[in-house]
């Protein structure tokens, strides 16, 4: 749900201030009901919104897969002038927003969409949508350390849910290891904090899968539109439907 004047402005009706005037003048209706209050909200994808009896342009839903580089902010704007994901979305006219976050020092798969309902479901903890990362850490964790990750780690904001963790690459000299880890939560910097808790700080973190969608060979800093099958996978993941083939694809990507 968004403020009506914002929906009108984003649809190209007029400036935000002019759209407010149209609302006050009784020229805007939502589902055939005239709205004159500036605080009124509507769903731009579900409600029928008209101005002087004419429906506004309905924004098409868009689903993007972006390979976020390290050192890019997962927002559309940054007051400090740092590089944001918007800087990489040249040619995209629709308003899209990141689904969840990847922190400044992390890289990899980031979904963006203007489908607010799907984005909410994908990021809500109760839906347990899997996200897989390759975490390169200092030194090589012992097997019992990985077992701690699998059972759940106690953090300052509570116990984590059980994770899936396995060795992906191990330095023969024992200086580092890369661990494939899958979590079904979305706490702030969760993977980094989990490895801090077992005393193996993360030096590089890359997300390779989200809800059955894999990064594949997409180059760093590039994006592409999701196809119909990938959108179906995301919707299934948001509803808790497990796709065994997707799980296998994620494992192959980690290898």
Q: Which of 198, 220, 251 is nearest to 102 (CA)?
A: 220
Q: Based on the residue annotation, tell me whether 145 is a catalytic residue of this protein.
A: no
* SS3 readout for the chain: CEEHHHHHHHCCCCCHHHHHHHHHCCCEEECCEECCCCCCEECCCCCCEEECCEECCCCCCCEEEEEECCCCECCCCCCCCCCEHHHHCCCCCCCCEECCCCCCCCEEEEEEECCHHHHHHHHCHHHCCCEEEEEEEECCCCHHHHHHHHHCCEECCEECCCCEEEEEEECCCCCEEEEEEEECCCCCCHHHHHHHHCCCCEEEEEEEEECCEECCCCCCCCEEECCHHHHHHHHHHHCCCCCHHHHHHHHHHHC
Set 43, 47, 78, 103: catalytic member: 103
Residues annotated as catalytic are 103
């Amino acid at each position: 749900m968004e403020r009506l004047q914002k929906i009108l402005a984003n649809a190209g009706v007029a400036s935000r201030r002019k759209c407010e005037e149209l609302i006050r003048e009784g020229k805007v209706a939502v589902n055939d009901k005239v709205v004159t209050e500036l605080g009124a909200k509507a769903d731009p994808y579900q409600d029928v919104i008209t101005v002087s009896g004419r429906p506004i342009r309905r924004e098409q839903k868009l689903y993007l897969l972006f390979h976020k580089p390290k050192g890019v902010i997962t927002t559309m704007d940054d007051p400090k002038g740092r590089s944001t994901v918007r800087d990489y979305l040249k040619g995209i006219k629709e308003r899209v927003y990141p689904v969840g976050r990847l922190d400044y020092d992390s890289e990899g798969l980031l979904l963006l969409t203007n489908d607010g309902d799907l984005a909410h479901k994908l990021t809500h903890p109760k839906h347990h949508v899997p996200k897989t990362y390759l975490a390169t850490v200092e030194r090589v964790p012992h097997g019992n350390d990985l077992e701690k990750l699998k059972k759940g780690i106690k953090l300052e904001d509570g116990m984590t849910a059980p994770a899936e963790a396995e060795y992906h690459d191990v330095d023969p000299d024992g200086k580092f290891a890369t661990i494939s880890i899958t979590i079904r939560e979305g706490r702030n910097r969760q993977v980094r904090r989990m490895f801090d808790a077992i005393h193996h700080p993360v030096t590089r973190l890359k997300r390779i899968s989200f809800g059955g969608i894999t990064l594949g060979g997409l180059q760093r800093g590039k994006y592409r539109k999701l196809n119909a099958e990938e959108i179906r996978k995301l919707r299934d993941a948001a509803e808790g439907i497990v796709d065994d083939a997707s799980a296998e694809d994620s494992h192959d990507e980690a290898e």
